[in-house]
Amino acid sequence: MGEEREDLVSSGDRRLAGFVDQVCGHHAVRARDHVLEERGSVGVSRTVREHPGNEALTKRLRVGGEPLGPAEAISLKAVGHDGQVLALETLSDGGELLGRDLQQSRNINTVPYGSEFQHTDSTTGKPLADIFFEPYPGYSTITYYDDAYTSNYHALLVTLTRRFTKGFQVGVSYAYSKYMDYTGIPVYANLRSYAYGVDGSDQTHNMTFNYTYNIPSATRLVNNRFVGYAFDHWVLSGISQFSTGTPAAISFTTTNSENLNGGGDAQRVDVVGNAFSGNIHTFYQWFNTAAFALPGMNDPGNAGKYDVRQPGVNNNDMAISKNFPLKNEKRFFAFRWEAYNVFNHTQYATINTAARYTPAGVQTNALFGEVVSTRAPRVMQGSLRFTF
């Protein structure tokens, strides 16, 4: 493994050097490990990422006529004539990760579909307890673990950075991704349609901004020592995040607790429409509740793992800080004031996804599809530290 990685590093340097010459028309000096040092106004760096236990398979990006090695990232940096630096990094390779031999579990003592309707007490006419006719009679749950499942993650990752100049620095990172795997393994249902789908942590879009700004000195307007001590050298910084909500599953109960499946894997609702159509994403209707219906007798339901998504994140955190020196810069008071959700923006967090049906199929849960919780309102805190 060590020799293979060394070959990858050395060959990657040659290809990236060609990339600089081809795209930018400048020459680069290769360094041993991670960075191709810049001459002129363009530099390129590359990173080799290893993923133990996973196989990194990627669509090859051809540079200088040759594909990049596995799990490499290209970083381009352009320096303007005024000294401003703009860096753009894209994870062009390693954007696909495949997980292998992942462990999941299932109850192999689950009774088959419809079997509870066939085994009844002759004296009462009621179904017998499952323990009398389970695949392994006399036992309750038998949990079977096997390392036979997979996952896959595909992503486009882009980072844009404006280096600190003229008192301002900003960075933007964006991920467009999809994470799929097998969870909730069935015993009788079709494995792929029942257990395969997006992971519960999947977020299609995720964008983050970070910034630092040195507030202009007040002494530019009022040339006064006291004004300078109190109002110069303030620093404003913050982080803003905007992301898609995570997936959510639709569950259901019935008002008469009727057994519709007679055994088998957990029954799911029937999807009869588009959950994302109509007047949605409001407090009282986050998704189209009419898109789901009560499954019939002996109908396992056709819903997937997740059919709706929770509300996304739209949050801004901000801080302002300043050092107050005492005679010299070695002794100073450091003041910092932080505000989380600084604009006190109402952010919905979770929705009610539990339907409740009458025998006629009428949905009776008044909260179904509504927002039931929010994220934290604005929270502020301050600190004053003395350094000597």
Is the domain of 61 the same as that of 199?
no
Residue 14 lies in a domain: yes
Least confident of 49-58, 68-77, 173-182, 258-267: 49-58
Mean pLDDT comparison of 159-168, 211-220, 339-348, highest-scoring range: 339-348
**Of 71, 94, 117, at which residue does a domain stop?**
94
pLDDT in tens, 336-359: 999 999 999 999 999 999 999 999
**Of 79, 94, 109, at which residue does a domain stop?**
94
Is the domain of 46 the same as that of 188?
no
pLDDT in tens, 50-106: 333 333 333 333 333 344 343 334 444 444 444 444 555 544 444 678 899 999 999
Least confident of 65-69, 206-210, 266-270: 65-69
Inter-residue contact 316 to 238 (CB < 8 Å):
yes
Residue 117 lies in a domain: no
**Model pLDDT, residue 228:** 87
| Per-residue pLDDT band at 120 (split at 50, 70, 90) | confident
Residue 106 lies in a domain: no
**Of 94, 127, 151, at which residue does a domain stop?**
94
Residue 119 lies in a domain: no
**Model pLDDT, residue 327:** 78
Residue 65 lies in a domain: yes
Inter-residue contact 13 to 6 (CB < 8 Å):
no
When divided into structural domains, the chain yields a total of: 2
Closest by Cα among 78, 69, 61, 59 to 20: 78
Is the domain of 249 the same as that of 371?
yes
Is the domain of 84 the same as that of 191?
no
Is the domain of 73 the same as that of 215?
no
Round to whole Å and give the CA distance between 111 and 133.
Answer: 7
Q: Inform me whether the pLDDT recorded for 39 exceeds 90.
A: no
Round to whole Å and give the CA distance between 162 and 279.
Answer: 40
Residue 51 lies in a domain: yes
Round to whole Å and give the CA distance between 194 and 210.
Answer: 40
Is the domain of 79 the same as that of 208?
no
Global pTM?
0.71
Percent of the chain with pLDDT over 90: 59
Residue 234 lies in a domain: yes
Is the domain of 348 the same as that of 243?
yes
Inter-residue contact 74 to 35 (CB < 8 Å):
no
**Model pLDDT, residue 202:** 96
Residue 337 lies in a domain: yes
Q: Annotate 156-215 with DSSP letters as a single string.
A: EEEEEEEEEETTEEEEEEEEEEEEEEE-S--SSS-HHHHHEEE-TT--SEEEEEEEEEEP
Round to whole Å and give the CA distance between 206 and 156.
Answer: 11
CA–CA distances in Å: residue 42 to residues 79, 345, 355: 7, 41, 58
**Mean residue pLDDT across the chain:** 79
Q: Which domain holds residue 210?
A: 166-173+183-387
**Model pLDDT, residue 167:** 87
Going along 31-142, which residue ranges are E strands? 35-39, 42-48, 54-56, 62-63, 66-67, 72-79, 85-90, 96-107
Is the domain of 87 the same as that of 201?
no
Least confident of 31-35, 305-309, 333-337: 31-35
**Model pLDDT, residue 95:** 67
